[in-house]
Amino acid sequence: MSCIFCRITAGEIPASRVLEDEHLVAFHDLNPKAPVHVLVVPREHVESVGTATEARAELLGRMLLACRRVAEQCGVAGGGFRVVLNTGPDAGQTVPHLHAHVLGGRVLSWPPG
């Protein structure tokens, strides 16, 4: 297993976990772009939103709900938070494993980078 996120979700690589269940693991990003920057990663390897099929609709919904739970747990739900799903290299996806970034804890500008 060479995918770093697969190894993190399997517990082979340590991560500062925020929450986890049988479908997902959420952990602090090692290179945060905001005071709160947590990645929500499915345990199942799916490359990106661009490759996800209808069969993954439930998983995608679970990811979004987990993003809300992360924001609540990290104390940023009330003031607002951003969920980012980069898809492909031109969008900034550097790990080819579906993951959502939950960002908050400061005013986030628009448009993003």
- Catalytic residue positions, numbered: 99
Q: In whole angstroms, give the CA distance from residue 111 to residue 23.
A: 32
CA atoms within 13 A on the CB side of 49: 14
> CA triplet 98, 74, 77: central angle to 5 degrees?
90
How many Å separate Cα 7 from the centre of its chain?
15
Q: In whole angstroms, give the CA distance from residue 69 to residue 105.
A: 15
